[in-house]
Structures are given as C-alpha cells and as structure tokens.
Amino acid sequence: MMIIIAEFFVVILKVLWAFVTAGAKWVVRPKEKSVAGQVCVITGAGSGLGRLFAKEFARRRAILVLWDINSQSNEETAEMVRQIYHELDTPITKDGPVGGVEEVPPFQPQVYTYVCDVGKRESVYSTAEKVRREVGEVDILINNAGVVSGHHLLECPDELIERTMVVNCHAHFWTTKAFLPKMLELNHGHIVTVASSLGLFSTAGVEDYCASKFGAIGFHESLSHELKASEKDGINMTLVCPYLVDTGMFKGCRIRKEIEPFLPPLKPEFCVKQAMRAILTDQPMICTPRIVYMVNFMKSILPFEAIVCMYRFLGADKCMYPFLAQRKEAMNNNEAKNGI
C-alpha cells in the first residue's frame, strides 16, 4: 500500500513538472532542430499545404520526396523546390540517428517526385519501396494528403464516403507501416499528421470528413502512446490541427458575419509556418489559432445543448451549408455541360 501511495505522489510531481515545462515552452521559444540532409516524404505535395510544406523543408535543406496523385502539379512543386535549392550551395551537416552530427557533401538539388494514390494500399507500398531503393530510408513523414466530398450525408454517394475515409485516415496506416520499421530500428524519425480542427470537434454537413479526421487523430494519438510504451523516444510525433484554411478546399464556408473578422480563415502560409515551428521543436500538437485549444476543452466539459447554443451564436452550426450548396451547383452545371 505504501508503495502505491509513494508512486502516486511521484506521478503528481511528474504531472506538475510537465505543466511547468510546457508553460516554459510557451514563454521561451525552444531552439529549432536541423533537418538538413534528412529525407522527408510529403503526401499531397502537389498543391495547398503540401506544396508549402515542401518549400519550407527545402529552405531548411531537407531532401524532398514528393507524393501526389497529380503528376503535373507535383512537378510544379518540384520545380519550386529546385529553385529554392538553386539558391543554396553551401556545405551542410546532418543530424545522426543517435544525436551526433555528420558532415554532408556540398549541397546539391535533391527532390524526387512520385505519382502515388494514397487511397490505394498497393500504390502506397510499391511507391514506398521505390523511395527506399532510389532515395534511401525516410527520416520525416508528413501525412498531408486529404480530400472532401462536399455532400450532405444522405446525398453523398457511398464511393465518395469511402474515398474520404481511405485518403484522410486509412492512408496514414499504410504510409506509417511502410516507413516506421526503419525508424524503430534506428530510434530516429518524425511522423507528422496534418489533421484539422474538425477532427477535434465537428459541425453539420461534413460527417464523412469529420469522421476521417477524428480517425486520423485517434490513430496518431494511439501510435504516440505505443512509441512511448516501447521507449522509442527518438521518434517524434506532431499533430497539426488548423482551423479553416483558405486553400479553396472549403470555399464558401462562412460563420456569422459579425464574428468572422475575429476568426477569419487562416492564410495557408501562416498555418504552415506555425506547423513548421511545432515540427522543428518536437511539439506534440499544434492548434491554429490557439482558441482551438479552448474550444476543444470546452467541448469536453460542457453539456451538448450548451455546445449547440454556442454553435448557433457563432453561426458554426450551418457554416458548411454555403460550401455544400456551391459544390452541388458546380456538379449540376458540370453534368449539364456534359449532357448528363
């Protein structure tokens, strides 16, 4: 009995210390780690946040491996990366698996593109094997690829629901299974899950998207615990949960007009810069803007009817309806043009 009581007080002290260290990181910005010379795989690199992540990692001299289902847009991203690489011609160093530093030859443009449909398991595994054979082992995995169907549940074709779940959630299982074994062997690596605030709290009209992002976050958290249980502290995990990002993915989404100036859609560049800061300081989770932390906490403690009341005040209960209406109109116009 005394042992349990003693352990309980030790746990209390460790919890308090965790609060202290977390608070200190909010006050004093931790030093960013170097990713120079490290191999970084980014899914969905052909546009949006994936393209911006590629540019940010290129500026930090990482070796980029870009995956996208669209070869043309992926090559456009690669060309942007090459332009950044062209400006970087000084020698670099690379962090070793066990914390040492090893010298890397003078920097040469290194970006690799692969056409990969992450919604197909076989495509993920075969592309991952090509990467290992042609580039080498992966140090950083950015699970960024995502889709949205843009339909109310009862109007959404089953195949689109399945596609949303597979790309936004199941693909994370497959990419991780492809690259994690070597990370475990070396006890070195970093896995980033680009999720959404809609994976922390939901709204009406995007049931499939919310379910996929909740699933991705659940996978990320469980894997984080598994790595801790395995004492693989050299492998870091970062969860990225942004509010609505102005990439066009949810074009037309609107909250209450009086509230919108205080909570506008995020600029993609700002979102990625915040995410990069979290990744490079090994922060476990980043929500942008910070009010997302508060909303997630309130969701956990408030009665459901209280949450509904707040949603209605903010205009968040039907914020996706204009977006869904635009998508439906666009599809109808498309069908009319094609004579369907």
List the domain boundaries for the chain.
31-337
**pLDDT, mean over the chain:** 88
Q: What are phi and psi of 131, to 5 degrees?
A: -60, -45
pLDDT at 14 over 90: no
Look up 85 and say whether it is catalytic.
no
Residue found under tokens 């979102």: 271
Q: Which CATH number fits domain 31-337: 3.40.50.1100, 3.40.50.720, 3.40.190.10, 3.40.50.150?
A: 3.40.50.720
pLDDT at 131 over 80: yes
Q: Which residues contact 314 (CB under 8 A, 6 or more apart)?
A: 255, 256, 259, 263
Which of the four pLDDT bands, split at 50, 70 and 90, describes residue 50? Answer: very high
Complete DSSP assignment for 237-303: EEEEEES-BSSSTTTT----TTTGGGSPPBPHHHHHHHHHHHHHTT-SEEEESTHHHHHHHHHHHS-
Catalytic residue among 85, 114, 125, 209: 209
pLDDT at 315 (0 to 100): 84
Contact 138, 57 (CB under 8 A): no
Q: What is the mean pLDDT of residues 266-293?
A: 94
Among 11-15, 244-248, 283-287, 298-302, which stretch is predicted with the lowest mean pLDDT? 11-15
Contact 48, 26 (CB under 8 A): no
Angle, vertex CA 236, rays to CA 230 and CA 237, nearest 5: 100
Q: What is the mean pLDDT of residues 290-308?
A: 90
Q: What is the mean pLDDT of residues 81-104?
A: 68
Among 20-24, 105-109, 265-269, which stretch is predicted with the lowest mean pLDDT? 105-109
Which of the four pLDDT bands, split at 50, 70 and 90, describes residue 281? Answer: very high
Q: What is the mean pLDDT of residues 142-156?
A: 93
In angstroms, the CA 160 to CA 264 distance is 29
Contact 27, 102 (CB under 8 A): no
Mark out the alpha helices in 135-240 (DSSP H runs): 158-165, 171-186, 207-229
Q: How do residues 313-338 score in pLDDT, each as one tens digit?
A: 888 888 888 888 888 877 766 544 44
Look up the pTM and report it: 0.87
Share of the chain above pLDDT 90, in %: 63
In 3D, which of 142, 125, 160 has the Cα closest to residue 40? 142
Contact 211, 166 (CB under 8 A): no
pLDDT at 219 (0 to 100): 98
Contact 191, 141 (CB under 8 A): yes
pLDDT at 253 (0 to 100): 85
Burial of 182 (0-12, 13-18, 19+ CB in 10 A): middle
pLDDT at 209 (0 to 100): 95
